[in-house]
Amino acid sequence: MRIGVFCSGGDAPGMNACVRAVVRRAISSGHEVVGIQRGYQGLLDEDFYLNADREPRMRLRTVSGWSRQGGARLRSSRCPAFRTEEGLAKAAGILDKHGIDALIPIGGDGTFRGAVDLLRHWDGRVVGCPGTIDNDLIGTDFTIGFSTAVQTAVEAVDKIRDTAESHERMFLVEVMGRHSGYIALYTALACGAEGVCIPETFTDVGSIAEQLKVLEQRGKTSVMIIVAEGDERGGAAALQRALNELGQPSATRVVVLGHLQRGGCPSPEDRILASRLGDFAVTALREGASGVMAGVSAGINSLTPLQDTFTLHKELPAELLELLETLAM
Ligand code: ADP
């Protein structure tokens, strides 16, 4: 089998560890791996990762040290052309031309949509690996990159708390998550934040203002509210404006963590998850699987139809939301 592997969409720490596992598992079981650079755009451009002999074939040593490296060594991209029938047909032709039998895309729901569309034009097989910091994919407890992103956000919020305490201030810290509150909720829990605003729940500014008064009466000297960028009110700046309109003190500060959360060395959890999933994706392909995503749920490797990853919403654990509320006293 000749397997094409690539990273697509938003980059996530751990993607390199996943590529490494794909390469090592595939080669050790007698298969070949072609690294496709810059996601679907690189596929359309026939932009392959070249080894030391300028051949488009990854070797065992090509991926030395990749498990600890942040970013995407194969690079990533967003590719509008892949959303067109012409683009998909062209990609299918290129895969056939290069004798690629199977693909392992590492990405999020957009990437998997693209893969499902491609399978309408192409006769090969696809097993995806969930690579996104948002943890917004069903079929796996955690996605590659989520653990590192939360770790980065927690380190940042801990530092902000120090200055918040010194000046007795309230901070609204915006974290990533356009459609999902996972990063916000996990960061809030880990940091002992006083509140979280996420797309999954209604953000009631009136009750936040009331709650802030109660906390002040109880002697709270600093307040941290973690806001997901995709909160229906529009993020931390919008929340600050709404709170100001309700008479909250203007000493409230907004910090947007932004792309900081995408970078850095992957956490041990992400390295291990990525290694497991890359290895499992190759095994699944060898056993004939296609149109599915490799995941780990409750410690067990599992396959989920790619279609489900972009049609079904991953629920936030309600008990964690309740826990945050209980502890933010
Ligand atoms: P992620 O995979 O992180 O969700 P994107 O949503 O940007 O990131 O998707 C990555 C790429 O997948 C897009 O740039 C595009 O090339 C491809 N893609 C996304 N949606 C579709 C679609 N509906 N049809 C075909 N390709 C798509």
Shared domain check, 176 and 193: yes
Shared domain check, 114 and 48: yes
Q: Which CATH number does the domain housing residue 181 bear?
A: 3.40.50.460
* Ligand 1 centroid to residue 119 C-alpha, Å: 14
Best residue among 76, 83, 136, 309 to mutate for probing ligand 1's pocket (most ligand atoms within 8 Å of CB) is 83
* Ligand 1 centroid to residue 284 C-alpha, Å: 23
Residue 326 within a domain: no
Whole-number mean pLDDT of the chain?
Answer: 96
Shared domain check, 237 and 124: no
Best residue among 86, 111, 135 to mutate for probing ligand 1's pocket (most ligand atoms within 8 Å of CB) is 111
Shared domain check, 44 and 117: yes
- SS3 label, residue 6: strand
Cβ–ligand 1 contact at 66 (below 6 Å): no
- Residue 53, classified by CB atoms within 10 Å of its CB into exposed (0-12), middle (13-18) or buried (19+), is exposed
Task: Quote the pLDDT of residue 249.
Answer: 65
Shared domain check, 275 and 139: yes
Cβ–ligand 1 contact at 8 (below 6 Å): yes
Full residue range of the structural domain in which residue 71 is found:
2-145+266-311
Task: Quote the pLDDT of residue 250.
Answer: 58
Structure tokens at 167: 């000046």
Shared domain check, 141 and 272: yes
Q: Judge contact between 102 and 284, C-beta under 8 A.
A: no
Shared domain check, 161 and 124: no
Which ligand 1 atom sits closest to the C-alpha of 132?
3
Give catalytic residues, as residue numbers.
Answer: 134
Q: How far apart are alpha carbons 279 and 35 in whole angstroms? A: 16
Q: How far apart are alpha carbons 198 and 229 in whole angstroms? A: 8
Structure tokens at 28: 């050790």
Q: 295 has which bridge partners? A: 302
Max avg pLDDT among 24-38, 215-229, 236-250: 24-38
Task: Quote the pLDDT of residue 168.
Answer: 85
Best residue among 6, 7, 8, 126 to mutate for probing ligand 1's pocket (most ligand atoms within 8 Å of CB) is 8
Cβ–ligand 1 contact at 110 (below 6 Å): yes
Q: How far apart are alpha carbons 42 and 46 in whole angstroms? A: 6
Task: Quote the pLDDT of residue 173.
Answer: 97
DSSP 137-156: -TTSSS-BTHHHHHHHHHHH
- Give yes or no for residue 90 having a pLDDT over 90: yes
- Give yes or no for residue 194 having a pLDDT over 80: yes
Shared domain check, 216 and 204: yes
C-alpha Rg value of the chain to the nearest Å: 22
The 10s digit of each residue's pLDDT in 157-181 is 999 999 998 888 899 999 999 999 9
Please report which confidence band the pLDDT of residue 216 belongs to, taking 50, 70 and 90 as the band edges. confident
* Ligand 1 centroid to residue 107 C-alpha, Å: 9
CA-closest residue to ligand 1 atom 7: 9
CB atoms within 10 A of CB 120: 10
DSSP 26-62: HHHTT-EEEEBSSHHHHHHTT-BPP-TTS-S---GGG
CA-closest residue to ligand 1 atom 9: 110
Q: How far apart are alpha carbons 280 and 295 in whole angstroms? A: 9
Please tell me the total count of domains within the chain.
Answer: 2
Residue 329 within a domain: no
Residue 318 within a domain: no
Task: Quote the pLDDT of residue 329.
Answer: 81
Shared domain check, 169 and 26: no
Distances (CA, A) of 323 to 172, 291, 315: 20, 37, 16
Shared domain check, 183 and 98: no
The 10s digit of each residue's pLDDT in 44-68 is 999 999 999 999 999 999 999 999 9
Cβ–ligand 1 contact at 11 (below 6 Å): no
Shared domain check, 170 and 73: no
Average pLDDT of span 243-263 = 88
Q: Which CATH number does the domain housing residue 306 bear?
A: 3.40.50.450
